Amino acid sequence: MDIGFIGLGNMGAHMARRLIEAGHQLVVYDTRQEAIGNLTARGAKAARSPAEVADAAEMVMASLPTPDVVLAVATGERGVIEGKRVRRFVDFSTTGAVMAQRIFAKLAARSIVQIDSPVSGGVTGAERGTLAVMASGPRAEIAAIEPALKVIGKVFFIGERSGAGQTMKLVNNVLSATAMAATAEAMVMGAKAGLDPRIMLEVINAGTGRNTATEDKFAKAVLPGTFNLGFAAGLMLKDVKLFLAEGAALGVPTEVIEAVARQFETVCTELGAEADLSAVVRPVENRAGVEVRAG
């Protein structure tokens, strides 16, 4: 299958690589020439713009950082919408339902079907092909591209409504963010009281407090002090704010998630939006005067 792929960052590069290894012919584009070169070395063809990608492939996939970037790539000047061959736009990014619906309508006017397919599972999931792919859009269109999606991970059909996949992704991501924020405070409190961080994680993971942060992220990035999960705190804050906006529109109370947003805002203010997701523990450590580390 001929596939266009736009956005070769921490996630996109691995997804594109897996598609090449599965035998698909890829045309790729990124703003960074180095990222393009890494894929052309594996057999992909390079394009000079999103429109050029969409000239070469009926299906164009995208993995991009923010809603505004997705909008520009999909519908802006020299965007996918100007492509001569494209018929499907598969978006793996996290944009929120409102933006997904906006892009869907613009592309539909040019007879291009948007398939909203945000993913979860992090860089490791992208590398291993074990991502959760939350696809929404016309069921027949999703069925037609499912073999390619399965190369990336496990495919879940969320619904035919545009943006349904985005809502599912935000529900997932705020739980991940909450686990990180709550675990940061809990682990710092235990460390301040003199508990061994590794023993804390062993006990938590054998009990009812276990979560994705205790089972994986803290042992991998916080205890060794590497802070290298590969997902920026600023991107997580963006996802949390998108969730809060959708919750407000639906009239759903979000007091816990509002507190989580404040914690990530502190990280971004004090350490920068590019700080790793796992750095959410550092402002808590700084205020408590103790670090959660173990060799």
pLDDT in tens, 80-105: 999 999 999 999 999 999 999 999 99
Query: 162-172 pLDDT, tens per residue?
Result: 999 999 999 99
Contact 19, 63 (CB under 8 A): no
Q: Sorting pLDDT into bands at 50, 70 and 90, what band is 216?
A: very high
Q: Please say if the pLDDT value at position 1 is more than 90.
A: no
In the chain, the percentage of residues whose pLDDT exceeds 70 is 100
Across residues 187-200, what is the average pLDDT?
98
Q: Sorting pLDDT into bands at 50, 70 and 90, what band is 295?
A: confident
Across residues 225-239, what is the average pLDDT?
96
Mean pLDDT, the chain, rounded, equals: 97
| Catalytic residue, candidates 106, 150, 169, 238 | 169
Q: Please say if the pLDDT value at position 228 is more than 90.
A: yes
**d(Cα 248, Cα 254) in Å, to the nearest integer?**
8
Contact 38, 56 (CB under 8 A): no
Residue that the structure tokens 């070769």 belong to: 8
Q: Sorting pLDDT into bands at 50, 70 and 90, what band is 184?
A: very high
Q: Would you state the pLDDT for residue 68?
A: 97
Query: 40-59 pLDDT, tens per residue?
Result: 999 999 999 999 999 999 99
**d(Cα 162, Cα 112) in Å, to the nearest integer?**
13
Query: 267-284 pLDDT, tens per residue?
Result: 999 999 999 999 999 999
Q: Please say if the pLDDT value at position 148 is more than 80.
A: yes
**d(Cα 197, Cα 185) in Å, to the nearest integer?**
13
Q: In degrees to the nearest 10, what's the CA dihedral of 254, 259, 261, 264?
A: -160
What pTM was computed for the model? 0.95
Q: Would you state the pLDDT for residue 102?
A: 97
Among 281, 292, 187, CA closest to 233 = 281
**d(Cα 104, Cα 111) in Å, to the nearest integer?**
10
Domains of the chain: 2-161 (3.40.50.720), 167-288 (1.10.1040.10)
Query: 15-37 pLDDT, tens per residue?
Result: 999 999 999 999 999 999 999 99
In the chain, the percentage of residues whose pLDDT exceeds 90 is 99
Across residues 179-185, what is the average pLDDT?
98
**Does residue 169 have an active-site annotation?**
yes
Q: Sorting pLDDT into bands at 50, 70 and 90, what band is 202?
A: very high
Q: Sorting pLDDT into bands at 50, 70 and 90, what band is 70?
A: very high
